[in-house]
Amino acid sequence: MKKRRINPSQRIAVGYAALAVLGALMLILPISHGTSLHIVDAFFTSASALFVTGLSSVSPQTFTPFGYFVIAALIQIGGIGVTFISTSFYLLIGRKISLGDRRMLAEERNSSLPGIVRLFRKVVIFSFSIEAVGALAFSLHLHVQYGYSWLRAFGFGCFHAVSAFNNAGFDIWTNNMESFTHDPFMLLLTALLIILGGIGFVVLVELYEFPRQRQLSLHVRIVLGMTALLLVIGTLLILLFEWNKSMANLSWPYKILNAFFSSTVTRTAGFDSVPISNMQEVTWLIMIFLMFIGAAPGSTGGGIKVTTFFLIIKTTMATIRGRAQIVAGKRQIPWELAQKSMLIAILGITVVLVCTLIDAIVEPSIPIIKIIFEEVSAYGTVGLTTGITGSIDSSMKWVLIFTMYLGRIGIFTFLLSLVQRSQSRVQYVQERILIG
């Protein structure tokens, strides 16, 4: 009997699930937590860290330094990808990376197969280099400005740098980053790490090689343009609605600073310098929109991705104008990518709506806007919350875990892990139907 082969999508889906379970078992150990920790909360924290989300159902004071080490390790693996473990081991022992492993790397990094191992090496180098610089800067600042001991400053600095660059949004302080509302250094450096992690490793590599190559691909130009546009739009809208509300007590320079930071963290990193619960519902709607779009493909962030959103806009405009081609940057984009972009958005909306309905059934007392915010935050692997995560029922926690799981591995990867691709050779007669 012919042995059934496990495709890359199935290996990724199983790999993330297995590591989430392993992380939960590590966190439930007495050495990982100082206060009582329920197994559901351990699994929720493990999943949130591995899926680089940042939602937390327990207080940061729950975990010991060892527990935070486990969380940081899960964040690092989740940011680079589960394939990081096997591929790194093979490279260390000098073993050749098989075609199956290369396909799994390409699937997870959403990249092409040629040169994927070379790209992976650069991913590892860029990740650890950027995180090391960020950790050093945070450590020095926390020691000099806030009087942290060198050991405490280094521990906090390392964890925060890893959490920020990997767009995880896990905070080690009891009030997230609300103590740094008037600290431009902490907010801007955190925002920079979030942006660098969110634009994707392909973009980072091209930017690094730009002085020599002197050109950028269409993908990189779209990512940089959409990232800048969404950051500006988000900042302006948050300023508009929160100027005299949650930011009323801030001077205008700090209002701009915190609005920019709030716009940045919706790119899938759930830190907050101004409490989200104090903001207006209209601001929550803006954040829901930005969180759903998310970061760039092949990055540490989630969401449907900025290129997907860009292509949906271009496809819509081309259809309205009756054009047969989708053109961007004097290049034609295949219609199959447009169809995939539409499908990604529709499937994402479907996941959020279905999970929201389930949450509304198990938690009928929570306002629906807060549930939608929580679900989009989970699906976009953001980690922002209106303040309900710590008080929700275990049933809703499991729903959020599943949403985070889908958001991290990708809805396409999940669906492909359940079915086998097949192509039909049957051609049917065309017939038009009425639409619109």
What is the chain's mean pLDDT, rounded?
A: 86
Q: CA–CA separation, 26 vs 69, rounded Å?
A: 10
Identify whether the C-beta of residue 311 lies closer than 8 Å to the C-beta of residue 340.
Answer: no
Closest CA to 88 of 79, 77, 100: 77
For 133-163, write each residue's pLDDT tens digit: 999 999 999 999 999 999 999 999 999 999 9
Which structure tokens are listed for 388?
A: 């309900």
- CA 394 – CA 163 distance, rounded (Å): 25
Mapped onto helix, strand or coil, the DSSP state of residue 299 is coil
The rounded distance, in Å, linking the Cα atoms of 215 and 120 is 22
The pTM is what? Answer: 0.88
Give the pLDDT score at 113.
45
Q: Find all residues with CB under 8 Å of 378, minimum gap 6, and list them.
A: 53, 55, 355, 400, 403, 404, 407
The token pair at 129 is 């280099």
The confidence score (pLDDT) of residue 116 equals 56
pLDDT tens column, 247-292: 999 999 999 999 999 999 998 888 999 999 899 999 999 999 999 9
Q: Cα-atom radius of gyration of the chain, to the nearest Å?
A: 22
Please report which confidence band the pLDDT of residue 2 belongs to, taking 50, 70 and 90 as the band edges: very low
Residue 357 token pair: 């309905």
| Whole-angstrom distance, CA of residue 2 vs CA of residue 239 | 62
Q: Which has more confidence, 104 or 30?
A: 30
Where does the pLDDT of residue 110 fall: very low under 50, low under 70, confident under 90, or very high at 90 and above?
low
- Backbone φ and ψ for 382, nearest 5 degrees, come out as -90, -60
Residue type, 386: T
